[in-house]
Chains A and B, each alone.
Chain A
Amino acid sequence: MGTKRINNNRRNFFKTTAALIGGTIAISIVKPFELIGQSKVEDKSDDKTIKPLWGMGVDIKKCIGCGKCSEACKIENNVPKEPFYFRTWVEQYTVKKDGEVKIESPNGGIGGLKQSVPDEDIFKSFMVPKLCNHCTDAPCVQACPVGATFISPEGVVFVDETYCIGCSYCIQACPYGARFMNPITKVADKCTFCYHRISKGLEPACVEVCPTDARIFGNLRDKKSDLVKFLQKNPTEVLKPHLNTKSRVFYNGLSSEVR
């Protein structure tokens, strides 16, 4: 009798276990568990065909370093006026005759950049406007521990201000130095391509104010957009291509000195 009882129990035990495991798997297929399996992290592919993919072209051969873009960006995006916080800024590169490279960006170029090297020492000199490169494989997104920074389906890298915990990992991770800690909101802040403007069909503020059209903004998926034409006409390069970030800000006339 004793043996029989044990056998009976063992069978019940297996049955119940099987039912439990089967049930758990069955439940895990339905909605509440979906995130555990990360099954929805990939963007729905049919969305991609309709939505634009934003990018920017920067023509170094046109930039005069007037700093109007940095200034406009601060106004448009409520960036603190102190000279350490920039969503976009302009750097002046001066290659001296002795090979030394001098990089200057006093106040991000606001007020106009001035050449500090005497003419006779200059080998060449040029301006490099910088901003978030909106990488396809963004290191900052990988670094974020809470999912507060992300790449939207339109290719814009965002910071979710309500979700960011202000740990600064993304600021360290960005190879372009495009992020900063906003002293007012106390969270990471960065260029959004002026998403509130582009989603209404306007251009980003920096593009709007550029007096020489050195910045070209557009939809990379629209073959007739200014940006696509710019990419067709000019040999362009991204910053730090060796990092494989597949950035979406393309520079025309980029010198190898640019870091």
Chain B
Amino acid sequence: MPKIIFRLLLSFIVFVTIFIVIKQLVIPNSFGDYGHYRANSIDDNKGRTLYFKGDEKCISCHQDINDLINTDLHSEISCETCHPPKIDADTDCKVNPPKIKGTIEFCAQCHTKNAAREAIGFPNFDIKEHKGDQNCIECHNPHAPWELKE
């Protein structure tokens, strides 16, 4: 083989090898398994922390409250809608329970007067006009709102 062809061939092989090596180093694992992206990124997302545990979990210990809630109009609401988890909910509920205060503002989030709520027939009203500044839970049980105290 003439020298020039040999050199050409040699440099070609060297370039191809360098290209393959760089490509292997630069392109991350699993890139291109499904498309132009790192397929393992999907699994990364799977591993994130769960904060909201779902009603079943709460009910396993707070059966009484679930029974109460199911008797009334708040039955459709999940525990964690009103009791959002504070920290990683794997921590024992006894140590750091998702306590909330049943304030006027708390109930008002859902029940204060709003034309959009009126339009879909959701119970809403001017909080001041209802019972003034008296706290809602003094009369309504938050878990069973029609269970009125006196």
Contacts and interface: CB of A to CB of B under 8 A. Distances in A.
A112 interface: yes
Contacts of B131: none
Interface stretch (A81-89, A121-129, A174-182, A225-233): A121-129
Interface string A170-213: 00000000000000000000001001110110100100111111
B112 A114 contact: yes
Most chain A Cβ neighbours within 10 Å, of B35, B78, B80: B35
A196 to B, nearest CB: 4
Nearest to B117: A64
Contacts of A77: 48
B19 to A, nearest CB: 9
B109 to A, nearest CB: 3
A161 B28 CA distance: 13
A150 B116 contact: no
Nearest to A149: B37
Contact of B81 (A68, A114, A147): A68
A27 B28 CA distance: 21
A208 B52 contact: yes
B58 to A, nearest CB: 12
Nearest to B122: A64
B52 A112 contact: no
Interface in A48-83: 61-68, 71-72, 75-77
A114 B109 CA distance: 9
Contacts of B110: 64, 66, 112, 211
B47 A115 contact: no
A9 B148 CA distance: 105
B13 to A, nearest CB: 10
Interface string B30-47: 011111111001101111
Nearest to A128: B116
A41 B52 contact: no
Most chain A Cβ neighbours within 10 Å, of B1, B33, B77, B85: B77
Nearest to B45: A195
A26 interface: no
A125 B28 contact: no
A34 B93 CA distance: 53
A115 B37 CA distance: 44
B144 to A, nearest CB: 15
Contacts of B44: 160-162
Most chain B Cβ neighbours within 10 Å, of A13, A16, A71: A16
Given A75-B52, A76-B52, A205-B51, A125 B41 contact: no
B108 interface: yes
Interface in A6-60: 9, 12-13, 16, 20, 27, 32, 34-35, 38, 40-44, 47
B18 interface: no
Given A68-B81, A208-B78, 17 more contacts: A12-B2, A12-B5, A13-B5, A32-B20, A35-B31, A40-B32, A66-B110, A114-B114, A115-B114, A122-B115, A125-B119, A127-B116, A147-B36, A160-B41, A197-B50, A200-B50, A209-B84
Closest 6 CB pairs of A and B: A112-B109, A150-B37, A125-B115, A160-B41, A196-B48, A209-B81
